[in-house]
Structure 1
Amino acid sequence: MNISKKEALEWFEFLSEIPSDSQQVFEEYNNIIRSTMRQIEKSYISEIKELQKNIPELKDLKGRTYYVGEEKNFPKGCLSCLFGDGLGGIRKTHTCNLTCKFCYYHDSMEDVEQIPEGMWDIGDNLYEEDDLDLLLSIQKNPSGVAYVYLEPFMEIEEYYSVVKKFNNAGIHQHMYTNGVLCTDENLKKLAENGLDELRFNLGASNCSDRVIEAMKTARKYFKSVGIETPMTHEFYESFIEKKEEILSIGLDFMNCAEFHVGPDNINNYIGEKFYVYKNGYLSPTWSRKITYKFMKMAIDEKWDMLIHDCSNHTKYAREINKASKQGGAFGAHSYISEFDRPLPYLFLPILKDKDFKFLKEAPLPDHLKLENCKESILESLSEEEGEEEFYQGFEDYISNEKC
């Protein structure tokens, strides 16, 4: 069903006024919602394909992701993620030293579940450090692991011996950090204990001089050093301001993460133009376009650093690969939405954008036209809750029913 943009807007404006707990309505007209989301997605991906045509040097990694630059610099942690056993996350530190607008835990940082002292979350189970030798001797070792959640350098001294155990087992290891707490001493120790790859979320500090210096230091000690940060306007502007100094470090790669929002950071981005990829991640349309601005610049200026399009498509491929490696049925994957209910109001800005066109449109059949459905929907809701309770203005809904 190729719903027209005009009818999609009419329906989504109406659905935005329906209380979020009116599941019957959303289920009954799910085909309207899905068709609209798909129309937005197809149009947006068409725009992305046009941007890709402007980068003839763009390389396709077996359909799983895209990059520009020397293949030898492609991060091995990403290869493990896309071709190996998936992203094996090791969680330890539940706190952070920064508060970032784009953080996926922005609204729930104080409620993040603590990992008990002396324990590590691996495969959704808790292990003491002494248990790791047993774990590594029994189970098939992963191709790689990643230290995530939230800022490991808050207690980096706890990581050295664990990193050493995984290094001794021959497992590739990478770690994410905002870089603010990095020092020559802790970076050197981390490298000496066998961490292979260090990724800096440079956007977390708006490309601060302190973190740039930390990356220079890391370059002395690690086999692979790069940037991995969500693509936002703020990051792009701060990177351009310090571009020459950053490029002079000799970094191996920049993972341009297509920024996606979840329940704990969506309120920072209300009013942006969103699309949903494959019924999964919700992203502002500007994020991946910033990746291609970086790629075009890297080619034109002959950067040595590899630029990786770590997009929603890449995450989609990652989850399909992960399900396959874990014995899932053919076609199984866990790439799903982070929201548990439809949020039509989020898509009003893009539906109201006169410059955003649907690729192919067809009128709805009479039984799905809003004017033929609206009255019965209102009557059913009125019977359930009382008309004054359910029928509220859109602005009211926005202020009271955010995620």
Structure 2
Amino acid sequence: MVRETPYFSYAVGELPRGCQLCVRGEKLVLFTTGACPRDCFYCPLSEKRKGDVVYANERPVKTVDEAIEEAKIQEAKGAGVTGGDPLARLDRTAEYIRALKEAFGEGFHVHLYTTGALATKKALERLYDAGLDEIRFHPDLFNPNSRLFEVEIRNIRNAFDFDWDVGGEIPSIPGQFERMKWYAEFLDKLGAKFLNVNELEFSETNLRALIDRGYKPISNESAAITGSLELGLKLLEWGGENTSLSYHLCTAKLKDAVQLRNRLRRMAKNVARPYMEVTEEGTLRFGIAEYDDLDELYTLLVEGAEVPEEWLYVNRERGRVEMPEGVAVELADAIEGDVRFFIVEEYPTFDRLEVERVPLP
């Protein structure tokens, strides 16, 4: 009954619509705030996102228009609204959802993750009226004695008063099988559609808390937690036999090797300059030259080396002149002195993360 998907994940039943778009790289990741009513020990949120900030993918945004522009670059067919807890900034979250729906149409699928702590009937009505299609709850399942847990469970019930898809999304934490089963049964009795289970991973911010609790990585090359995947599979096998929910076990490999790569590919073809090569992985590959004086370097390349101006781009923000890879290889062999040539690969994202730099002799 448990099947392996083409995306290195595992499923029982049909993947939620939000996941179907996500694995194809078609979902904008809309982070509406780092604020959250909880402080989970396994939270992977980076330090720069723990404040009250907004991101569309890797792009910090100040306005709805910037988020819409990012969605256009990605050719997104939907958005996943996340945080923190997006309901901690309800007005903002509803505004962004409504604006995306107005910009791209009702077919633009929006799902949202929330703890449930702030999901009052009025809050849920605001989200529904804004156009939210799918809501996923992650209550304080692994701390059932917390003051928020009872509130979250009560609020989850409210979500079934609206005509949208309701499900759960939780991490697979070794040693917590009984709590995970309890939540699956709870959702099933309410008539939820699905339960997503995420393979637990180390991050810079949860590393110490996980190590202190005895969790270990599966290898030196992976951030995935030993036993998390196996526990997730165990839950899917049990759930497929004992509930009517659909299940999706989202693996660390899916996020890195499939979802991110597919999103990068969609973005790369829209942001690549003529001198950039789009690789199979969705990165941008090209040559660069660095020198203390960019204007002097540009003059040297155009007048001294006779490189056509249309082959060059002066990137003052990065302090370099960019060019086709083959041109950089030829120039590195011909120009002597302090000019430094490299072949670089970057993500086509707003932050243009550099993933490789090869110096040319």
TM norm structure 1: 0.59
Q: Is the aligned partner of 1:149 residue 2:83?
A: yes
Name the counterpart of 1:346. Answer: none
Name the counterpart of 1:268. Answer: 209
Name the counterpart of 1:224. Answer: 165
- Structure 1 unaligned runs (5+)? 1-56, 335-403
Evaluate the alpha carbon distance shift between residue 333 and residue 188 of structure 1 in structure 2; reply closer, same or farther with a 3 A threshold: same
SS of the residue aligned with 1:145? Answer: strand
Q: Which amino acid aligns with 2:259?
A: R
Alpha-carbon distance between aligned partners in 1 of 2:74 and 2:45, rounded to the nearest angstrom: 32
Name the counterpart of 1:62. Answer: 6
From 107, 111, 125, the equivalent of 1:174 is 111
Q: Is the aligned partner of 1:312 residue 2:252?
A: yes
From 82, 93, 96, the equivalent of 1:162 is 96
Counting aligned pairs with the same residue, the percent is: 21
Alpha-carbon distance between aligned partners in 2 of 1:333 and 1:220, rounded to the nearest angstrom: 44
Evaluate the alpha carbon distance shift between residue 127 and residue 264 of structure 1 in structure 2; reply closer, same or farther with a 3 A threshold: closer
Q: Contact between 2:184 and 2:239, CA under 8 Å: does it hold in 1? A: no
> How far apart are residue 140 of structure 1 and its match?
6.4
From 101, 109, 113, the equivalent of 2:41 is 101
Alpha-carbon distance between aligned partners in 2 of 1:267 and 1:130, rounded to the nearest angstrom: 36
SS of the residue aligned with 1:199? Answer: strand
Q: Contact between 2:141 and 2:183, CA under 8 Å: does it hold in 1? A: no
Q: Is the aligned partner of 1:202 residue 2:145?
A: no
Q: Contact between 1:175 and 1:198, CA under 8 Å: does it hold in 2? A: yes
Q: Contact between 1:145 and 1:174, CA under 8 Å: does it hold in 2? A: yes
Alpha-carbon distance between aligned partners in 1 of 2:117 and 2:60, rounded to the nearest angstrom: 28
Q: Which amino acid aligns with 1:98?
A: R
Evaluate the alpha carbon distance shift between residue 143 and residue 235 of structure 1 in structure 2; reply closer, same or farther with a 3 A threshold: farther
Q: Which amino acid aligns with 1:65?
A: S
> How far apart are residue 211 of structure 1 and its match?
2.0
CA RMSD of aligned residues (A): 2.9
1:3-22 maps to which residues of 2 (within 5 A)?
Answer: none
Q: Contact between 2:138 and 2:170, CA under 8 Å: does it hold in 1? A: yes
Name the counterpart of 1:81. Answer: 22
User: Could you give the per-residue CA deviations for residues 171-203 of structure 1, whole angstroms, max 9, x where no partner exists?
Assistant: 211111111111011101201110111111135
Q: Is the aligned partner of 1:286 residue 2:227?
A: yes
Q: Is the aligned partner of 1:112 residue 2:50?
A: yes
Alpha-carbon distance between aligned partners in 1 of 2:183 and 2:6, rounded to the nearest angstrom: 34
Q: Which has the higher contact order (CA 8 A, sep 6+)?
A: 1
User: Could you give the per-residue CA deviations for residues 144-190 of structure 1, whole angstroms, max 9, x where no partner exists?
Assistant: 11112211111212222221111222321111111111101110120
Q: Is the aligned partner of 1:214 residue 2:155?
A: yes
> How far apart are residue 324 of structure 1 and its match?
2.4
> How far apart are residue 138 of structure 1 and its match?
6.7
SS of the residue aligned with 1:307? Answer: strand
Structure number having the greater strand percentage: 2
Q: Contact between 1:203 and 1:230, CA under 8 Å: does it hold in 2? A: no
TM norm structure 2: 0.65
Name the counterpart of 1:31. Answer: none
User: Could you give the per-residue CA deviations for residues 234-255 of structure 1, whole angstroms, max 9, x where no partner exists?
Assistant: 6533233465433201111111
Alpha-carbon distance between aligned partners in 2 of 1:112 and 1:234, rounded to the nearest angstrom: 28
1:359-374 maps to which residues of 2 (within 5 A)?
Answer: none
From 279, 284, 290, the equivalent of 1:329 is 279
Structure number having the greater helix percentage: 1
Evaluate the alpha carbon distance shift between residue 250 and residue 234 of structure 1 in structure 2; reply closer, same or farther with a 3 A threshold: farther
Alpha-carbon distance between aligned partners in 2 of 1:188 and 1:329, rounded to the nearest angstrom: 44
Q: Contact between 2:35 and 2:51, CA under 8 Å: does it hold in 1? A: no
Alpha-carbon distance between aligned partners in 2 of 1:331 and 1:209, rounded to the nearest angstrom: 45
Evaluate the alpha carbon distance shift between residue 258 and residue 299 of structure 1 in structure 2; reply closer, same or farther with a 3 A threshold: same
Q: Which amino acid aligns with 2:228?
A: S
User: Could you give the per-residue CA deviations for residues 310-343 of structure 1, whole angstroms, max 9, x where no partner exists?
Assistant: 1112212212222322234114579xxxxxxxxx
SS of the residue aligned with 2:84? Answer: coil
Evaluate the alpha carbon distance shift between residue 264 and residue 196 of structure 1 in structure 2; reply closer, same or farther with a 3 A threshold: same
Q: Contact between 1:195 and 1:222, CA under 8 Å: does it hold in 2? A: no
Evaluate the alpha carbon distance shift between residue 190 and residue 205 of structure 1 in structure 2; reply closer, same or farther with a 3 A threshold: farther
